[in-house]
Amino acid sequence: MVSAAQPQPASATDASRTFPAGFLWGSATAAYQIEGAAAKNGRTPSIWDTYARTPGRVRNGDTGDIATDHYHRRREDVALMADLGIGAYRFSLAWPRIQPTGRGPAVQMGLDFYRRLVDELLDAGIQPVATLYHWDLPQELEDAGGWPERATAERFAAYAALAADALGDRVKTWTTLNEPWCSAFLGYGSGVHAPGRTDPVAALRAAHHLNLAHGLAVQALRDRIPADAKCSVALNVHHVRPLTGSEADGDAARRIDALANRVFTGPMLHGGYPQDLVEDTAALTDWSYVRDGDLALIHQPLDFLGVNYYTPTLVSGADGDGSPTSYGHGGDRTPWPAADGVAFHQSPGDTTAMGWAVDPTGLYDLLRRLSSEFPRLPLVITENGAAFDDYADPAGHVNDAARIAYLRGHLAAVHRAIEDGADVRGYFLWSLLDNFEWAHGYSKRFGLVYVDYPTGTRTPKASARWYAEVARTGVLPGA
Ligand code: IFM
């Protein structure tokens, strides 16, 4: 976590690197970001539908009502992946499509959509990897209190059971939550994500109930899926670096590491909340919503840890010229409870269209740290990628050389981490398609495939052909 290493981009003369046999090459998406069909076949609003329709919340007033229209173009998108030779596809199930009110029986048409998707993936030789929750909480559950309330975790376990009953015979790899840090701290802390609340105590309560939801969902999955199926969680583990070697900067890094990472890895993987987190937040909460038995429920054996990485987080201990968020999501309220006095700084290096520094050394250091903290837990990169201002040239080509350079650097970092002992089993590129980038609407393009939103037309970018070759050969070519 704590290291003052500076970016060392892969050099232009790097030799090619061969990944281990069986390394999984995938791409990832999320339901609200791509599906559209927001009111079709029984789906009801999620917190993101509500948030996006609230004036001023999302850039240009964009919503996921149509998105990339994947709901109707599912077959075409599977064919695209097959054409690119992608071995695995990580997608999320929309809770409000399967269980619209967050309670009661499943809607068959909702399940059918995912059954068809999974069948088509399997027919095409693509391994389906399902995420149960990528931020689209049914609005009715938010109206009943949302993630700060324990009942939401219990509802999530029931939804997980419905999903497992319907898809457990076909889907062999499951992820419970995607980036619960965003759900808790951007959703209930800074309010730049749905549901847009700005209450630090609610954010901490949400974090605990997301942890509980994860544990209960793993239990529900394990009760239903075959013994060889895999369960995991995808965390946006922040690689936190102190600005200098000073004690104050080191302490700032420790505090943010606790609030960003150990608030989840502590209970999920070690069986308890870190003492320093409890002490740092003592003025806000006594954590009395953690009931007897919760920590054992949350601490479920996992088959791998999903790691989402984009950029490092650089902090210092004194109020300085940093901005109040390190994650590029803006907003004028901090997502970090009990981190007064911590300043966030732009990491050195080139930036993507999100303003995030391109720094593959952060990924290398993160993988090494996680391997040493959890030596028996395999790692999978469940998200990595970059937004750039892509456009189709007059000939219709999208030449995204900057994305190729980003991917090359980060895959080299993954390869180096593996050589140095990290047990990394796969890499899911974010994202298959350009899509709805949350509060940024459609203004940020992360896709391997360019989407012309007015027509829905898909055009593989240069990076798609490049990645296809890496996936086909398992070799990262030298530049
Ligand atoms: O688009 C998001 C995704 O939904 C979650 N992880 C980060 C991506 C880029 O911001």
Q: What is the pTM of this model?
A: 0.96
Residue 326 has pLDDT above 80, yes or no: no
pLDDT at 121: 98
Residue 267 has pLDDT above 90, yes or no: yes
Element containing residue 166 per DSSP (H, E) = helix 150-167
Q: Which of 181, 183, 382, 437 for mutating ligand 1's site (highest number of atoms within 8 Å of CB)?
A: 437
Atom of ligand 1 nearest to the CA of 30: 4
Q: What's the whole-number average pLDDT of the chain? A: 95
pLDDT at 332: 84
pLDDT at 6: 41
Tell me if 430 CB under 6 Å of ligand 1: yes
Which of 10-14, 96-100, 339-343 comes out lowest in average pLDDT?
10-14
Single-letter amino acid code for the residue at 300? Q
**pLDDT band at 48, cuts 50/70/90?**
very high
pLDDT at 2: 34
Q: Which residues contact 53 (CB under 8 A, 6 or more apart)?
A: 63
Structure tokens at 280: 């740092």
Q: Which of 142, 149, 179, 437 is catalytic?
A: 179
Residue 320 has pLDDT above 80, yes or no: no
pLDDT at 405: 98
Residue 462 has pLDDT above 50, yes or no: yes
Atom of ligand 1 nearest to the CA of 383: 6
User: Rounded mean pLDDT of 441-457?
Assistant: 98
Establish whether 179 is a catalytic residue. Answer: yes
CA of 328 to the centre of ligand 1 (A): 11
Tell me if 382 CB under 6 Å of ligand 1: no
CA of 408 to the centre of ligand 1 (A): 20
* pLDDT tens-place string over residues 191-242: 999 999 999 999 999 999 999 999 999 999 999 999 999 999 999 999 999 9
CA of 77 to the centre of ligand 1 (A): 19
Tell me if 136 CB under 6 Å of ligand 1: no
Atom of ligand 1 nearest to the CA of 387: 9
**pLDDT band at 155, cuts 50/70/90?**
very high
CA of 2 to the centre of ligand 1 (A): 24
pLDDT at 131: 99
Residue 11 has pLDDT above 60, yes or no: no
CA of 90 to the centre of ligand 1 (A): 13
Single-letter amino acid code for the residue at 11? S
Q: Which of 68, 179, 325, 388 for mutating ligand 1's site (highest number of atoms within 8 Å of CB)?
A: 179
* pLDDT tens-place string over residues 73-113: 999 999 999 999 999 999 999 999 999 999 999 999 999 99
Which CA distances in Å does 357 have to 10, 239, 241, 315, 327?
15, 12, 13, 14, 11
Establish whether 279 is a catalytic residue. Answer: no
Report the distance separating Cα 415 and Cα 313, nearest Å: 22
Tell me if 383 CB under 6 Å of ligand 1: yes
pLDDT at 9: 43
Which of 28-42, 311-325, 358-372 comes out lowest in average pLDDT?
311-325
Using CA positions, which residue lies closest to atom 10 of ligand 1? 437
pLDDT at 10: 43
Structure tokens at 45: 């609003």
CA of 371 to the centre of ligand 1 (A): 24
Residue 175 has pLDDT above 80, yes or no: yes
Which of 90-94, 316-320, 355-359 comes out lowest in average pLDDT?
316-320
Give me the percent of the chain exceeding a pLDDT of 70: 95
Tell me if 437 CB under 6 Å of ligand 1: yes
CA of 438 to the centre of ligand 1 (A): 8
* The domain defined by 17-476 carries CATH number 3.90.470.20: no
Pair 300, 215: CB distance under 8 Å: yes
Atom of ligand 1 nearest to the CA of 437: 1
Q: Could you say which DSSP state residue 396 is in?
A: S
Size of the chain, expressed as the number of residues it contains:
479
Q: Within its chain, how far is the Cα of 280 from the centroid?
A: 26
Tell me if 30 CB under 6 Å of ligand 1: yes
Pair 253, 318: CB distance under 8 Å: no
pLDDT at 331: 77
Which of 74-78, 168-172, 315-319 comes out lowest in average pLDDT?
315-319
